[in-house]
Structure 1
């Protein structure tokens, strides 16, 4: 075997190591010539995303408790779980995230699953509040598009966390499945779960509770901002998916 072939094989092996699954690994390798502009753009987007998440969370919590009732805990818990914690969990895996940029990958992975577990807990609490309120007021369950979407979302939250557990221990299954395939499935399921959670939040903006507590302008503004946040958060996951697809397609 020639030296060139040996180097090629070694490079291919390194590409399949877990470190290559970082969402910014590929972009960092491809953009070494213009790393400073790319780094500045990623930092700016990270600051913007965190600011929008914090601002939207604060406003939606204000609207939720503007007129306090038991039901107020439903939008409050779902907002914290679906928007704040889940968005931060996804962004924690990105090296471009200003809050976790100085952390090593194992620490970022730990932060990711801790935030995801907290997010799932808040979402489930919000779901329980909704069920209790409907039952005590003798109102039908899952009778609106928002409630049906919310039910599907809760199922995906549970499935996504189970998938995260499988991805976390996928190294022990390397003799049976490809690590990249397990991680890709987890990323795709997590991204779909987050996107569906944002859709549930958007439909919740047009329920009677939010319409009474806020107004038409607030509904439209929050809808636009939620879509922008979803796109900004998911773009970091898209880089990870691209990296994993490259690993899977290599022979």
Structure 2
């Protein structure tokens, strides 16, 4: 990657900041993504009735990890509609790390409850597409966290002076892959016997499509923030 390529936040190079309608639409979209992530977490937690079984804690932990914490950890860098817009860059990075640590803790806890539930019921592991996708998502999350450590501590890991900039780009790109994997995994959960027995009809389609909205907002934020300025102005 050429060293003279600069990265532009959303709208720069396109003159989009001059259009108030565009700015307000983006702000509304980011706020709606926050609400969607929180709403999905709350509703899924209520539907799972935590405490009624070992499995009941799995949807709670996983929705908290990926629908809420992962979404907030990415959207806090958004300039439009983020409740943390008053924070400094350093403060946002620390809060991002805190959110990602919660993702790892909640995801590991949810995995533990699922494994325990399968063992108690003597059902096979990795027998569905949802479980396979979930395993891939967990592995990608762990790798993404390792990449984040490289971004934060380049000198400690003896990386070259040109590596941090590229690592930030790779970190953001891998983060997008993790988020899209998590979105597909959440959507595949809608096809599970438990969810289809709990939610039916139009409500099922609503739950199935809702995770796509914050995914589109996150994808737009990352791709625009790390798109080379030269390509934007060409």
Coarse TM-score class (shorter-chain normalised):
0.7 to 0.9
Mapped pair 1:76 → 2:60: yes
Partner residue, 1:8: none
Aligned counterparts, 1:129-144, within 5 A = 129-144=113-128
Does the 8 A contact of 1:180 with 1:247 survive in 2? Answer: no
Aligned pairs (5 A) from 1:121-160: 121-160=105-144
Choose 1 or 2 for highest CA Rg. Answer: 1
Between stretches 94-103 and 114-123, larger displacement belongs to: 94-103
CA shift, 1:186, in A, is 0.5
CA distance in 1, matches of 2:155, 2:25: 34
Match of 2:172 in 1: 187
2:31 match: secondary structure: helix
Could you say which residue in structure 1 is the equivalent of 2:183?
A: 198
TM-score by length of 1: 0.82
**2:209 maps to which of 199, 218, 224:** 224
Alignment CA distance shift 1:33-1:153 (3 Å):
closer
The structure 1 residue matched to 2:199, chosen from 214, 217, 221, is: 214
2:11 alignment partner, SS class: helix
Q: Aligned Cα RMSD in Å?
A: 2.5
Q: When the two structures are aligned, how many residues end up with a matched partner? A: 228
What's the TM-score, normalizing by structure 2?
0.87
Paired with 1:178 and 1:35, the residues of 2 have a C-alpha distance of 36
Are 2:54 and 2:114, in contact at CA under 8 Å, matched by a contact in 1?
no
Question: Are the equivalent residues in 1 in contact too, given 2:54–2:116 (CA < 8 A)?
Answer: no
1:135: Cα distance to partner?
Answer: 1.1
The separation in 2 between residues aligned to 1:191 and 1:32, in whole angstroms, is 23
The more displaced of 50-59 and 119-128 is 50-59
